[in-house]
Amino acid sequence: MDEEIWELRLYVAGQTVKSVTALANLKRYCEEHLKGRYQLEVIDLLQHPQLAEGDQILAIPTLVRKVPSPIRKIIGDLSNQERVLVGLDIRPIDPK
């Protein structure tokens, strides 16, 4: 399981405050907890509106965890670290 590469997608719509905040937050968590075993894709719906339908995106920003399954979605600017980790089901590394 640890070997699995996490696929994350962040949907944003332009460079709004929320989107920028969300991206910054997400990168921070990933570096902290999933270093080296994640792929992050940022999709700007203003440029690719047709992609919104596939992942059932309504809210912006939305973070989608494609792998590992099941698909999880987290909406908002990801400012609450605890909820993001619970939402993505990331256990803190090296439980002591």
Partner 1 sequence: MSTLSHSLAALAKAPTGIEGLDEVTEGGLPRGRPTLICGTAGCGKTLMGIEFLVRGIQEFDEPGVLMAFEETAEELASNVTSLGFDLKQLQADKKLRVDHVHVDRSEIEETGEYDLEGLFIRLGYAIDSIGAKRVVLDTIESLFSGFTNQAILRSEIRRLFRWLKDKGVTTVITAERGEGQLTRQGLEEYVSDCVILLDNRVVNQITTRRLRIVKYRGSTHGTNEYPYLITEDGLSVLPVTSLKLTHEVSNEIVSTGVPGLDEMFTRGGLYRGSSALITGTAGTAKTTLAAAFALESCRRGEQCLFFAFEESPQQLIRNMLSVGMDLRPYVEQGLLHIEASRPTLNGLEQHLVTIHKLIGQYKPQTVIIDPISNLVSVGSLVEVRGMLTRLIDYLKVKGITALFTALVSGRNANQEMTEEGVSSLVDVWLHVRDLEGIGERNRGLSILKARGMAHSNQVREFLVTSEGVRLLDVVLGPTGIITGASRHTQFLQEQALATAAQQEIERRERELERKRRVLEATIANLRTEFESVEEELRQTNQEEEQRREDLSQGRRQIAKGNPAPLAGNSPAAPTHS
- 3-state SS assignment for residue 27: helix
69: contact with partner 1 by CB under 8 A: no
Residue from 5, 24, 86, 93 binding partner 1 (CB under 8 A): 86
C-beta of 51 vs 96, nearer to partner 1: 51
Q: What is the torsional sign of CA 45, 43, 67, 28?
A: negative
Cα–Cα distance between 87 and 24 in angstroms, integer?
A: 17
Cα–Cα distance between 11 and 75 in angstroms, integer?
A: 9
58: contact with partner 1 by CB under 8 A: yes
Residue from 34, 52, 66, 90 binding partner 1 (CB under 8 A): 52
Residue from 53, 69, 92, 94 binding partner 1 (CB under 8 A): 53
